[in-house]
Amino acid sequence: MNTKPIDEAKNADLRGSFPALQRAAKRARELAAQTGTKLVVSRGGVIEYIVPTLDHAGQQVQESLKPYANKP
């Protein structure tokens, strides 16, 4: 398995895949907040349900910091 960071990949499509995944995740959070749907994620092999909410001032997604509290 290659251990180099994905942003150092030779293939341009591969280098652009991480930002694309981040955009897709943001859109999924926005859509889930608009429809009142929980997001299902796996962290460390544990399934978690996240309930994102919209900040009505800017229509930005707000999530509890608890799931990310121990992440850098």
Asked if residues 40 and 49 have their Cβ atoms less than 8 Å apart, the reply is yes
Q: For residue 9, what are the contacts with CB-CB under 8 A and spacing of at least 6? A: 15
Q: For residue 31, what are the contacts with CB-CB under 8 A and spacing of at least 6? A: 37
Write out pLDDT tens, residues 8-62: 888 888 888 888 888 998 898 888 988 989 999 898 999 999 888 877 544 555 5
The residue ranking higher by pLDDT, 2 or 56, is 2
